[in-house]
Amino acid sequence: MEDDAAFDLIKAELLNAEDEVIISHYLKPMIVNGDTWPDHFIKDADVFNKNPNVVFDAESPSFVIVKPRTEACVKTDGSDESGCWRIMGRDKLIKSKKNGKILGFKKILKFCLKRKPREYKRSWVMEEYRLTNYLNWKQDHVIYKQVEDLSYLVTIMTSEGFNDWPSYVTNKVYCLHPLELVDLQDRMFHDYGTLIFSNKTCGKTDRCNGGYWKILHRDRLIKSKSGKTIGFKKVFKFYETEKERYFCDEEDVKITWTIEEYRLNVNQNKFLCVIKVYL
């Protein structure tokens, strides 16, 4: 029991650790000093061939020791050829706060499904940490952190200039009945929800055909590891004024529509709206 508590504490500390700590306290000792890998690290040289939705738990971010991305198969086929990992932006330098010396690099990769963006279940992000060539010229091991948290905001931040902004975009999210935005016959929608990319919204929620969207609570802050507010989350529920009948296995059922809206603190003209339905 005590070992489990200690394990959870170490993992929690690592999840909230700054980039410099991950490089200096974990990666460098393992490579330069030959220290053993922590028990909560997974050794897997084939992580790029696996679907994170199947292998990893969204509620428990994982740390993986793998060979560098350039020596592994970059494409994540899986058994169903689900998608691939894509590099988002340039490498970030990780420097020592004490002397400004470059300790290593950080790269962000995002798992992109082959299906259209509206069929996402979730957006997985992988953070790659590696040392400088001076300390590890072979680049034979790196640390990857697999997380789902904040991934919607990462999608917005890495899609600047509309170069990577998905084509499935509408600015009329709250003016449309949810049936106009989703396909109830789509099994992927029931499992994953529908992801809508929007450039601003109409700002009005009471002009839908057959109902209206209502805010359930105030904006919830989404904070970075350092505690800085980087974005907001808001949840809407759809109230029908003209009752629709829905059937599941030939039985009349009652359903609830919701929208989870994500937006950045510094760039509030781009939104990600995740539409879900609950039976």
For residue 198, is pLDDT > 80?
A: no
Q: Give the contacts of 200 (CB within 8 A, at least 6 positions apart).
A: 171, 269, 270, 271
Q: At 70, which CATH number?
A: 2.170.150.80
User: Looking at residue 180, what is its pLDDT?
Assistant: 80
Residue 161: inside a domain, yes or no?
no
Answer yes or no: do 124 and 220 share one domain: no
Residues in the chain: 279
Structural domain ending residue among the three candidates 149, 183, 207 = 149
Asked if residue 71 and residue 30 are part of one domain, the reply reads yes
Tell me which residue of 234, 244, 246, 239 sits closest to 274, measured CA to CA: 234
- End-of-domain residue from the set 120, 149, 178: 149
Q: Based on the fold, state whether residues 75 and 178 are members of the same structural domain.
A: no
Q: Are residues 17 and 142 in the same domain?
A: yes
Residues 7 and 140 in one domain: yes
The reply to whether 128 and 225 lie within a common domain is no
Residues 60 and 140 in one domain: yes
Number of domains in the chain: 2
Tell me: do 132 and 80 sit in the same domain. yes
The residue type found at 35 is D
Tokens of 149: 């948290």
> pLDDT grade, residue 196 (50/70/90)?
confident
Report residue 104's pLDDT band, with 50, 70 and 90 as the boundaries: confident
Note whether 127 and 188 are same-domain residues: no
Q: 83-86 contacts: CB < 8 A, separation 24 or more?
A: 83/51, 83/111, 83/112, 83/113, 83/114, 84/48, 84/111, 84/112, 84/114, 85/48, 85/109, 85/110, 85/111, 85/112, 85/126, 86/110, 86/111, 86/112
Considering only CA atoms, which of 126, 150, 154, 127 is closest in space to residue 23? 127
- Highest mean pLDDT range out of 43-47, 152-156, 195-199? 195-199
Instruction: Output the pTM of the full model.
Output: 0.47
143 and 45 in a common domain: yes
Q: What is the pLDDT of residues 29-87, one digit of tens each?
A: 777 776 666 665 665 556 777 777 777 765 555 666 555 554 444 444 443 467 777 77
Domain extent, residue 86, equals 2-149
State the amino acid at position 132 in one-letter form. T
Domain boundary residue among 118, 149, 180? 149
Does residue 160 belong to any structural domain of this protein? no
Distance CA 50, CA 114 (A): 14
Instruction: Say if 159 falls within a structural domain.
Output: no
Residue 163 inside a domain? The answer is no
pLDDT tens profile 235-250: 889 888 877 776 666 6
Residues 144 and 196 in one domain: no
* Residue 259 falls inside a structural domain: yes
179 and 66 fall within a common domain: no
Count other C-beta atoms under 10 Å from residue 214's C-beta.
Answer: 12
Rounded distance, CA 120 to CA 32, Å?
40
Q: Please, which residues have CB within 8 angstroms of residue 131's CB and are 6 or more apart in sequence?
A: 23, 27, 28, 31, 32, 103, 104, 139
Q: What is the model's pLDDT at position 136?
A: 52
